[in-house]
A and B are shown apart, each in its own frame.
Chain A
């Protein structure tokens, strides 16, 4: 029983971080219907940035979110104007392939800069836990989860209550309509894309503390993000949070009760099963199809 509760606790803590990581990808999809596979590479890139900064200045890695998120915003902004704007005009599936190309480039660059060895950021509290009765709360996971939830709350507030957020939503539901009421859709899209990458930037700082990483970790994280947004419903941010927690729970249960090796298979299995049985995911909406081409 304790083992089960412990596993659930662990799953929920990790789920918080997963939510942040997947929300960036889902935000970009919701606004411009582009699945950004490079998001996984951006995440790992941000983890490497965190590592280098942490080595150089010895600040708390979780605080470095304040540096990595804005830096990745800039990277995302540049990526949008260099590649994504053009990719958007092609077939959505081909746009996805383009972003996969970007992921490969980023992966290669990371390997050139940091090598293929495993890196990890290990602050003093990395191996400490709080104990409550017989339950353990690993400190790193707990802090990371809190930071993730705070950033997510900020992201929601930004989308809901600011002018930028309103224009992002307007541009998402009708770009022509948004243009008519004076929104510069191009700039708004760039901002939304950059915001998505910035979310990965924040997530990367958090994950650098939780997991060791190499450039090849990219593929695993792409699969994880995809499974979360497919499960939660493509384009639904609340769905991402739900999907993230469920995937994290499924992973930690698999690792605890079956074998750690098979936990990595969970996201891919979830993708295939969800798309077989319920393609719109848990909280996605089916859209009218008859109007799309008329």
Chain B
């Protein structure tokens, strides 16, 4: 039996057992434990979407439990409906708050998000206790008591939370498979690179946070009815927020079943400590125990106890997966795939074709006192291969970073196809038709090669985010490009395990997924074998033959001279000379800049890296 089979049978058996449990046993203690475990599993699975997949750690996730509980309780009381009916509204309200809160994620990363989530939890708790007119404050808010038979008292809570858990896990699975989910993992690996391939990170994060809050909000409504009495201190509890983090870490952060498993491990422990510890010091001991568990788990099992444990087990059994064996790349296809070359044909009218594709005018960028780029102006003709050369520190990479939007210029303009793009965000420039590769490759190490391509996105639409990333048309396109660069055989390998040269090809294919008007290549030939340099040159020529414009920064002069139609030479942040390769080769000013005394001065800027 394969692992998949074992896993399926275990999950099936567990589901059947949980479905039948209340019928088989009327033990209220165990039913309560199961209900609490479902609740924790829902919260940990929700947390996993924003914090496990996306890598934005939330230390205030229990705020959504409180928001859901109070929303549905107030609706139930004032509209006189069942809290079960009101619970989904609690989910919607929780998701709404998550969206508002995610606005802080537009410009901040990691640490700031933890702080915001913590502040949000404390603030909502204070709101609930201070807004006494609405919530009853610290006196609490009693809910109507259930009307059904006491013998089956727990059943509605039990089954509704079980169904909600199933739906949450299914949702988490669906997100992980979708283009959205892959984008979230890419954000986790390298957010600014993800934006460079057209991922609209702020929206992705917003959706992820809303998706992580929604089930918790619904669960809050049900849980509130279950305990039938809401208190701010119990509903907006930092200890619950901490237990969510702990549960996810006990199972496996970023995995589908890890948070669920962790919750089922943690809940019996909670019950045990509740029983064993009593008296005035019980609360204090719980803090010590959970605090120590949290610190230990995060320090020693950052990916989760079960995940790291499994890794360790494989290692001592010697079953480490084999490293990817080097393989000869297949010969380059003589032409691009027909569908691909069709799409690449420039679509603009004749008039536009005559003008340059890119016009850079008066670009300037300083870092403190270092003028990396000053008064830099040049054009890139449509359909050309244009080279950008210059000594180290002359500002080439800074120009690239200004072009793709990783840096904002101090002055100057950039036009792409007649449109001003220098004020656009990175993802907007990617959508406008600009793609790049990096000198030191920046593939997403935890995504497979295929997923690395599927994540690239030349437009933002909710419909496309839902689409599966590993089957369907996006995946088909991705395979075409992988085959084109010769990496088709590695589609399912984690990109982080590929060799440097292979990563360069994958990153190129990733840029091509955007089917850009302008392809920026930052030292594509650096650090790879001469055979691969040949291959790259051939690929670039083919792309160019189909109408793609290429701007290339490169130190390999034979390659530049043979490939490029036109070359701009940068020195000390300015364009020193422009012309055909033959002219540049003989230009005395260029020779002086490369070999003469000026280059040492320019090199201090450190702008090339």
Contact = CB atoms under 8 A, between A and B. Distances in A.
Contacts of B547: none
A112 B284 contact: yes
A108 B57 CA distance: 24
Nearest to A226: B115
The SS class assigned to the B binding surface is helix
B81 interface: no
B438 interface: yes
A265 B127 contact: yes
A51 B519 CA distance: 68
Given A115-B280, A261-B130, A294-B609, A108 B285 contact: yes
Contact of A86 (B113, B242, B292, B299): B299
A277 to B, nearest CB: 9
Contact of B111 (A93, A265, A271, A276): A93
Contacts of B130: 259, 261-262, 265
Interface in B10-44: none
Contacts of A102: 291, 295
Q: How large is the interface on A (under 10, 10 to 19, 20 to 34, 35 or more residues)?
A: 35 or more
A108 B113 contact: no
A116 B356 CA distance: 74
A91 B367 contact: no
A289 B111 contact: no
A259 B289 CA distance: 37
A169 interface: no
Contacts of A94: 57, 298, 302
A290 B406 contact: yes
Contact of A101 (B119, B298, B609): B298
B383 to A, nearest CB: 29
A251 to B, nearest CB: 13
Interface string A101-129: 11111111101100110000000000000
A107 B291 contact: yes
A90 B302 contact: yes
Nearest to B439: A294
B102 to A, nearest CB: 10
Nearest to B108: A279
Nearest to B122: A268
A216 to B, nearest CB: 10
Interface residues of B, number: 59
A141 interface: no
A94 B112 CA distance: 12
A22 interface: no
B120 interface: yes
Contacts of A109: 284, 288
Contact of B298 (A90, A115, A223, A275): A90
A67 interface: no
B481 to A, nearest CB: 24
Contacts of A267: 119
Q: Is the interface of A mostly helix, strand, loop or mixed?
A: helix
Interface in A198-246: 215, 219, 222-223, 226-227, 230, 234
Q: B103, B284, B293, B302: which has the most chain A beta carbons within 10 Å?
A: B284
Contacts of B438: 294
B113 A93 contact: yes
B407 interface: yes
A18 B186 CA distance: 40
A193 B607 CA distance: 33
Contacts of B238: 219
B299 A223 contact: no
B38 to A, nearest CB: 24
Given A94-B298, A105-B295, A219 B122 contact: yes
A139 interface: no
B440 A101 contact: no
B192 interface: yes
B57 A107 contact: no
Contacts of A215: 284
Contacts of A261: 130
B401 interface: yes
Interface in B514-549: none
Q: Which 9 A-B pairs give the minimum distances between C-beta atoms?
A: A104-B291, A108-B287, A101-B295, A111-B284, A108-B288, A101-B294, A105-B291, A268-B123, A271-B119
Interface of B: 55-57, 59, 101, 103-104, 107-108, 110-116, 118-120, 122-123, 126-127, 130, 190, 192-193, 238-239, 242, 245, 280-281, 283-296, 298-299, 302, 367, 401, 406-407, 438-440, 442, 609
Given A101-B290, A288-B407, 5 more contacts: A103-B291, A108-B283, A108-B291, A223-B118, A289-B192
